[in-house]
Amino acid sequence: MPLTAQEQAGKHLYTVRCAHCHEYNDQGLKKVPPDLHNVFRGAQLPSGAPATDEQVRREVLSGRGMMPPFAGRFSDEEMAALLAYLHTGLR
Ligand code: HEC
């Protein structure tokens, strides 16, 4: 099934804002950013926190460990698109 327009928009945001760490760890972080392909497949995120939209939204906005906060970087619409794309398993 092709991605919806919203998922496409989320894919673009993921590609430009998240992939450099989560796919390539281009900053060589000691805590390697986790693979997000299956992030919504189970009940828990890699940290053990619940795998819910609310939790991921909060972590992206507030940051977590070596992940910087993105507060103010995404509109509500963009955040919704990003979450929709994460739910596709990063197709
Ligand atoms: C500078 C590198 C970096 C960038 C950019 C980044 N992350 Fe992360 N991310 C991390 C690291 C490191 C962790 C592991 C944090 C921890 O548990 O200490 C992480 C963890 C996560 C987690 C798992 C949280 C958990 O509770 O296990 C999610 C979901 C996530 N990132 C989503 C994103 C999204 C979406 C973006 C783009 C908007 C993004 N990240 C951008 C480095 C990054």
Helical H segments across 1-91, by residue range: 5-17, 19-22, 53-62, 76-87
The domain limits of the chain are: 5-87
Taking only the tens place, the pLDDT of each residue in 23-80 is 999 999 999 999 999 999 999 999 999 999 999 999 999 999 999 999 999 999 999 9
Ligand 1 centroid – CA 6 distance (Å): 21
Q: Compute CA distances 15 → 22, 50, 52, whole Å.
A: 10, 24, 21
User: Rounded to two decimals, what is the model's pTM?
Assistant: 0.97
Residue 36 DSSP label: -
CATH of domain 5-87: 1.10.760.10
Q: Which ligand 1 atom is the nearest neighbour of the CA of 47?
A: 27
Q: Quick check: 45 and 51 in contact, CB under 8 A? A: yes
Residues with CB under 6 A from ligand 1: 17-18, 21-22, 27, 29, 31, 33-34, 36, 39, 45-47, 49, 56, 59-60, 64-68, 70, 82
Taking only the tens place, the pLDDT of each residue in 80-91 is 999 999 999 999
Bridge-partner residues for 50, per DSSP? 44
Separation CA 51–CA 88 (nearest Å): 14
